[in-house]
Amino acid sequence: MEIDLQPYAYFEGEIVPADQAKVSIATHALQYGTGAFGGIRGYLDVSGETINIFRLPDHTRRLMNSARILRCELNLDADGLAGVIQDLVAKNNPHSNVYIRPFIYKAGIELTPHLKGIRDEIAIYVIQLDDYFAMDHPLRLMVSAWTRIADNIIPSRAKISGGYINSSLAKDQAAEAGFDDALMLNERGKISEASGANLFIVRNGTLITSPVNGDILEGITRRSIAKFARDLGIALEEREIDRSELYVADEAFLCGTGAQVAAIGNIDGRPVGNGERGPITQRIQEVFFACVKGEDPRYGDLLTKVPVRP
Ligand code: PMP
């Protein structure tokens, strides 16, 4: 998927034309993967008058926590970063759905893989993005032969650049085999998550998702779905999921900033339920999309609205 870069980026403390945001080939983060990133969506409001950034403060807080794990020292805090992101969206003035990618990285030109004492920087770019997964048919997934990285290897809780090699290996293997994505098992053999999204399954009317100590990224969409489920009166269990539960689940879906809420129709060649998008998945999808487009006043506080000029 080629990206459609918006004209302005944030780089080394200022908003600059995106093609001027460049780093040295010797950059620590480029060599060692010592960066942490966020992925945030801005949706064009139904009115066309604002970009609705979904859960911006939650995203900047999680990113700062990832940066903390990498011992980054920055002169912006989570609120300051959220302010810069709003300014950057306003400067680009998009009239489409966008994806915002803030990146905190070890910018020093250093040979040692140390974390402490290496210059840290923040860069942010914005791209136009509609659906990451096709929404017109349920996904076909496989359980990957690659194990999800454990907390004492590379913490999955942190959105660390180097950790995404694990996602890349699983995604690549799945794509080669003709699947849309992969689900990974953790070292205990329990389901963790997909290459870039969290998993929910439905059994007997109850939503089930892996716990935050299950070697997953603590997804912000996942947390939002827990809220939507509560409001819809759908029971939710946060607990370890066995592989064989995938084969007997009534429904399953992926969720994430990129993935949004994407129904799963087949796992390991076995249909999930009847192979079609299930009714609970559909209800969650409807609430999610109404929320992000600004159509549901109950969830207005989940959106940071940036006005766009005509
Ligand atoms: N897991 C992984 C590995 C991811 O990359 C993502 C995408 N950020 C998610 C889960 C979903 O997290 P969120 O809902 O915060 O985007």
Tell me what pLDDT residue 130 has. Answer: 87
Q: What percent of the chain has pLDDT over 90?
A: 96
> Averaged over 32-60, what is the pLDDT?
97
The best mutation among 54, 168, 198 to test binding of ligand 1, ranked by most ligand atoms within 8 Å of the C-beta, falls on 198
Angle subtended at Cα 254 by Cα 248 and Cα 257, rounded to the nearest 5 degrees: 170
Query: How far is Cα 169 from Cα 151, in angstroms, rounded to an integer?
Result: 18
Check residue 268 and report its DSSP letter.
T
Question: Is residue 3's pLDDT more than 90?
Answer: no
Query: How far is Cα 79 from Cα 61, in angstroms, rounded to an integer?
Result: 8
* Dihedral over alpha carbons 253, 254, 260, 266 (to 10 degrees): -60
> Averaged over 147-167, what is the pLDDT?
98
Instruction: Catalytic residue, from 91, 116, 159, 171: name it.
Output: 159
Is-catalytic flag, 159? yes
> Parallel, antiparallel, or unpaired for β 35-37 and 98-106?
antiparallel
**Closest atom, ligand 1, to C-alpha of 224:** 14
What is the reported pTM?
Answer: 0.97
- Helix, strand, coil distribution of the chain in percent, nearest 5: 30, 30, 40
Structure tokens that stand for 34 in this block: 């010592």
> Averaged over 6-11, what is the pLDDT?
98
Residue nearest to atom 12 of ligand 1 (CA): 219
Tell me what pLDDT residue 4 has. Answer: 84
Number of Cβ within 10 Å of residue 234's Cβ equals 17
Q: Where are the beta strands (DSSP E) in the chain?
A: 4-5, 8-11, 14-17, 35-37, 40-44, 50-54, 98-106, 120-128, 139-147, 181-185, 191-194, 198-203, 206-209, 236-238, 251-256, 260-267, 270-271, 303-307
Tell me what pLDDT residue 65 has. Answer: 98
Q: Cα of 111 to ligand 1 centre, how many Å? A: 30
Question: Is residue 1's pLDDT more than 90?
Answer: no
Residue nearest to atom 10 of ligand 1 (CA): 197
Query: How far is Cα 259 from Cα 255, in angstroms, rounded to an integer?
Result: 5
Q: What percent of the chain has pLDDT over 70?
A: 100
The best mutation among 161, 195, 221 to test binding of ligand 1, ranked by most ligand atoms within 8 Å of the C-beta, falls on 221
Tell me what pLDDT residue 99 has. Answer: 97
For residue range 264-287, list pLDDT tens digits in order: 999 999 999 999 999 999 999 999
